[in-house]
């Protein structure tokens, strides 16, 4: 099973990718996780990536191609994978197709999780990170906004710079300009599975499984 999952920031791609990864026993390849690891390593490239992401910009295609190509060619991905966060530009889509051709990958499923821009902004501006244990919460979903549900420490919530509304709006603008056209590119190559991201996590998962089963039977 090889899946590419699309969607604007905070539509639930990562959550669903993890569920699919566990169900199908294939790796979840999150470019966000890959980039965060590079940043945490503290090397020069990590500082460059951190600065780019803090502004809501996209990491250059040259960097992303090298990272994704190395990952997809690993033995871990021989039985399949779920690609989350790549491609994000039309140029990356073309580069990815070249990688797929080299690896002789043919059957792919494209999933798009859709949700309104206002919901996305609300979700991200209400996101907080516990400075003590790193737990991530959404203030809309917890009663006590002063206590971390994980470590129970008080007053430890911090707001990431990339969760400021101005940065989020810019990220969405970048998405619409550079990522949305990818959907048109893939429409000519395969059917795209459209999923309503307003539903609960469980409902979205059920919709994805049903859609994949139908697509496999065609």
At 5, the pLDDT band (50, 70, 90 cuts) reads very high
| pTM over the 0.85 mark | no
Establish if 176 belongs to a structural domain: no
The residue-averaged pLDDT of 185-208 equals 90
For residues 85 and 93, is the Cβ–Cβ distance under 8 A?
Answer: no
Q: Which helix (H) or strand (E) holds 174?
A: helix 165-174
Q: How far is 177 from 181, CA to CA, in rounded Å?
A: 7
Q: Can you read off the two tokens belonging to residue 7?
A: 């969607």
For residues 64 and 34, is the Cβ–Cβ distance under 8 A?
Answer: no
Instruction: State residue 50's pLDDT score.
Output: 87
Cα 77 to Cα 19, 114, 210, 217: the distances in Å are: 17, 27, 24, 23
> Are both 2 and 54 inside the same structural domain?
yes
For residues 109 and 3, is the Cβ–Cβ distance under 8 A?
Answer: yes
Instruction: State residue 161's pLDDT score.
Output: 84
Establish if 37 belongs to a structural domain: yes
| Strands, E assignment, 68-198 | 81-84, 109-114, 127-130, 136-138, 157-158, 192-196
**Other Cβ atoms within 10 Å of 109 Cβ, number:** 20
Query: Which residue carries 């809309």 as its tokens?
Result: 140
> Are both 84 and 11 inside the same structural domain?
yes
Instruction: State residue 144's pLDDT score.
Output: 93
CATH classification of the domain holding 15: 3.40.50.300
Instruction: State residue 209's pLDDT score.
Output: 96
* Average pLDDT score, the chain: 88
Establish if 57 belongs to a structural domain: yes
Lowest mean pLDDT across 3-12, 57-66, 123-132, 169-178: 57-66
Q: Can you read off the two tokens belonging to residue 148?
A: 């971390």
The residue-averaged pLDDT of 131-159 equals 93
Establish if 81 belongs to a structural domain: yes
Catalytic site residues? 13, 88, 127, 160, 171
Q: Tell me which residue range forms the domain holding 147.
A: 117-171
The residue-averaged pLDDT of 83-105 equals 87
28 has pLDDT over 90: yes
The residue-averaged pLDDT of 198-217 equals 93
The pLDDT tens digits of the residues spanning 42-61 come to: 788 888 888 888 887 878 88
Instruction: State residue 151's pLDDT score.
Output: 95
Split into its structural domains, the chain has a count of 2
At 83, the pLDDT band (50, 70, 90 cuts) reads very high
Q: How far is 66 from 50, CA to CA, in rounded Å?
A: 17
Structure-model confidence comparison of residues 189 and 22, the more confident one: 22
Establish if 123 belongs to a structural domain: yes
The residue-averaged pLDDT of 69-97 equals 88
Establish if 58 belongs to a structural domain: yes
- How, if at all, do strands 2-6 and 109-114 pair? parallel
Residue 81 CB partners (closer than 8 Å, separation 6+)? 2, 3, 26, 27, 28, 29, 72
The residue-averaged pLDDT of 109-127 equals 90
The residue-averaged pLDDT of 127-148 equals 92
The residue-averaged pLDDT of 26-51 equals 85
41 has pLDDT over 90: no
At 208, the pLDDT band (50, 70, 90 cuts) reads very high
Cis? peptide before 185, omega within 30° of 0:
no
């Amino acid at each position: 099973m090889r899946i590419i999952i699309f969607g604007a920031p905070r539509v639930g791609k990562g959550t669903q990718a993890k569920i699919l990864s566990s169900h199908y026993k294939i790796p979840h390849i999150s470019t966000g996780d890959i980039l965060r690891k590079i940043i945490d390593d503290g090397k020069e490239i990590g500082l460059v990536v951190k600065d780019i992401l803090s502004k809501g910009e996209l990491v250059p295609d040259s960097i992303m191609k090298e990272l994704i190509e190395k990952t997809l060619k690993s033995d871990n991905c021989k039985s399949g994978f779920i690609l989350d966060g790549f491609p994000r530009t039309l140029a990356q889509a073309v580069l990815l197709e070249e990688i797929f051709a080299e690896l002789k990958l043919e059957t792919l499923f494209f999933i798009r999780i859709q949700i309104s821009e206002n919901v996305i902004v609300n979700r991200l501006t209400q996101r907080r990170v516990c400075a003590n244990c790193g737990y991530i919460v959404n203030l809309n979903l917890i009663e006590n906004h002063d206590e971390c549900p994980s470590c129970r420490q008080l007053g430890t919530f911090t707001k990431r710079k990339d969760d400021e509304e101005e940065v989020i709006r810019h990220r969405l603008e970048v998405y619409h300009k550079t990522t949305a056209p990818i959907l048109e590119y893939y429409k000519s190559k395969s059917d795209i599975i459209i999923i309503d991201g307003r539903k609960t996590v469980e409902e979205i998962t059920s919709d994805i499984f049903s859609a994949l089963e139908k697509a496999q039977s065609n």
